[in-house]
Chain A
Amino acid sequence: MLGKIAWRNVWRRRGRSIVIICSVAIGLWAGLFVTSFYFGFAEERIRSAIEMEISHVQLHHPEFKKERDVRFTIPRTGELLKWLSTNPYVQHVSGRLTGRGMIASASGNSGIQINGVTPRDEDTLTKLASKLVEGKYFPGTRNNEILIGKKLSQKLKVKVGSKLVLTMQDKAGSIASGAFKVVGVFATKNTPYDEMNVFAARNDLAIMLGDSLAITEIALLLNSQDSVDAFVRIAKARYPALLVEGWRTVAPEMDLVISVIDQMMYIFMGIVLLAMAFGIVNTMLMAVLERTREIGMLIALGMRRSRVFAMIVLETFFLMLAGTPIGMVLAWATILYFGNHGIDISAFQETLRSFGYSDVIYPKLGLYQYGQVLILVALTAFISALLPARKALKLEPAEAIRK
């Protein structure tokens, strides 16, 4: 019956309660939507980083990553590549000969990462061909073809057909260089990546470095992102001499993106809920004040103070929770809609690209986040109830009734 009284009390001041319910609903709606937007942002960033830069799993010689030195090649690649290409977890494989190097044009030079790839394998792995904005994807009409990022092409003032000189240290530590011709220019969603990477055929690079079998990096896409841990465990056991890393280890900053967004959600929802809390505390204090006589009468009749407290807490809960499902359903529907259709933020494209973000965001929110927000709402309701409920339980019946 306490619940019944509390619920009906919510509706005594219909207008006032509706204002609170609407503000809770709108606040949650906005809060959840903005959060989902950021999660979509992060998701998109991770997806494109996996697709283009890090793949699901990478294999290296354990020393390779320190200097990205071509001396540290992966041993016995033939057997390894065969095992990988028949492994049920693995979908695509690309073996690369990568390393630090310099690129020079007539008008400048730049330190870069040189990726020697097998064109077909690389395209199935990273869909590199689809990123081309000019030229062709390794037409194979001549030796020493090279693809460069758009940003780099601007920096070096080169275009399709231009000649470039690549310089790297070979296995023996002496300088090797070769002339390459630009056959294509690519642009990913990540400008810094485009400035830092060039792609050449692995064979051409191997010849330049004098080691025809050299592979320094193997990148894999698995059949699912969820298999990464399982696969890494198996591969590590089989090749203990290699460094086998899942994408979280390869790019720890990706995990950071997620945890930052998670914290942002708490901060953002915290602010929204704090604003609501003020409204609710105020409303409930007014309600207690208006009902001084009535509450005094209840204590006089024999209602324990703990029950009075519970009654006010319940009423606050009902007041707040009445708006919660409305806000959540609105948010869910909006997120569902934009999650499918995407939000085009190309107006801010330039800035975002320099951080590696794409221009269509698909808002996304997991059940887990809804649950967390629900807990936050309940916590807010409880905290907001404390002051009014305390006021109510401190009432002295004799005085309250005289009022």
Chain B
Amino acid sequence: METVIDSHNISKVYEETAIPVHAVSEIHLHLERGEFTALVGPSGSGKTTLLNLIGGLDRPTTGYVEIGGVNITKLKDNQLIDFRLNNIGFIFQSYNLIPVLTASENIEFIMLLQGRSKSERETRVHELLRQVGIEDKHDVRPAQLSGGQQQRVAVARALASKPRFMLADEPTANLDSVAAGNLLDIMAKLNREENMTFIFSTHDARVIDRARRVITLQDGRVISDERYAQK
């Protein structure tokens, strides 16, 4: 087994407010390669905060996060940005894509940041669009895509950088149930066929059903962590 994410006793306290908010408290999280994990819990329970911490978008107040054995909490700003670029695939809830770029340009963009060659970029963009099933929309800008199609482009873009794991904060929140189901199918397939590691937060019971591990947060603490057999 290969450890992908290891968080050591991380806490996040927001001190800007009159009463400090303990958004995340003393969380030990251990994710192995190939896991398909849902992060659930009521609104304000700390899901986004925790994902931001393990995704290197924010720094914990105490504790540290290791990704693939690298302590990312210690990295300098530019190192952290480069680390995210090369190790983590992000899928956000909305406004995922660069509106002035077409679907294929959005996917290519991340590989350009990585400095990949033109020929590699072109073949990969093609393959990724096919994998998420929207080859016909390659030349269309995000505003002309449905919510579900936009999220599929986001998945393709996240994959493009060949990340160690994929991190998604409520990826289906703005989708209807059919589109949400399709997106989960794509994610599950990637998990199954390429052993891609996923961690995503969600409120949606049908999405939770598809997860093989469900971590429940409440008031910034893990209150349950359950694994299910392959569904």
Contact = CB atoms under 8 A, between A and B. Distances in A.
Given A297-B95, A301-B90, A402 B48 contact: yes
Interface residues of A, number: 23
A305 B78 contact: yes
A363 to B, nearest CB: 41
A294 B85 contact: no
B56 to A, nearest CB: 9
Interface in B86-112: 86, 90, 92, 95-96, 98-101, 105, 108-110, 112
B81 interface: yes
B113 A12 contact: no
Contacts of B52: 398
A307 B115 CA distance: 13
A155 to B, nearest CB: 74
The residue in B77, B81, B105 that gathers the most chain A C-beta atoms within 10 A of its C-beta is B81
Interface in A381-403: 396-398, 401-402
Contact of A1 (B55, B84, B108): B108
Interface string A2-36: 00110011001000000000000000000000000
Interface in A292-307: 293-294, 297-305, 307
Contacts of B112: 1
A302 B161 contact: yes
A315 to B, nearest CB: 11
The residue in B57, B58, B110, B114 that gathers the most chain A C-beta atoms within 10 A of its C-beta is B57
A402 B85 CA distance: 20
The residue in B77, B113, B157 that gathers the most chain A C-beta atoms within 10 A of its C-beta is B113
Contacts, number: 63
The residue in A1, A8, A398, A402 that gathers the most chain B C-beta atoms within 10 A of its C-beta is A398
Contacts of B78: 304-305
Contact of B92 (A1, A5, A401): A401
Contacts of B105: 1, 4
A381 to B, nearest CB: 20
A390 B98 CA distance: 20
Nearest to A8: B100
B108 A300 contact: no
A294 B81 contact: no
A305 B79 CA distance: 11
A8 to B, nearest CB: 4
Could you say which interface size class chain B belongs to?
Answer: 20 to 34
Given A301-B90, A302-B81, A5 B98 contact: yes
Contacts of A4: 100-101, 105
Contacts of B58: 396, 398
B57 A303 contact: no
Given A300-B84, A301-B90, A302-B82, A294 B161 contact: no
A398 B100 contact: no
Contacts of B110: 301-302
A9 B161 contact: no
Contacts of A299: 81
A182 B49 CA distance: 101
Contacts of A298: 98
Contacts of A8: 100-101
B109 A293 contact: no
A122 to B, nearest CB: 72
A305 B81 CA distance: 9
Contacts of A304: 78, 81-82
A95 to B, nearest CB: 75
Contacts of A402: 48
30 contacts: A1-B108, A5-B100, A8-B101, A12-B100, A293-B95, A294-B95, A294-B98, A300-B55, A300-B57, A300-B84, A300-B90, A301-B84, A301-B85, A301-B113, A302-B84, A302-B85, A302-B86, A302-B113, A302-B114, A302-B161, A303-B81, A303-B85, A303-B113, A304-B81, A304-B82, A305-B77, A305-B78, A305-B81, A398-B58, A401-B57
Given A1-B108, A5-B101, 4 more contacts: A1-B112, A301-B90, A302-B85, A401-B92
Interface of A: 1, 4-5, 8-9, 12, 293-294, 297-305, 307, 396-398, 401-402
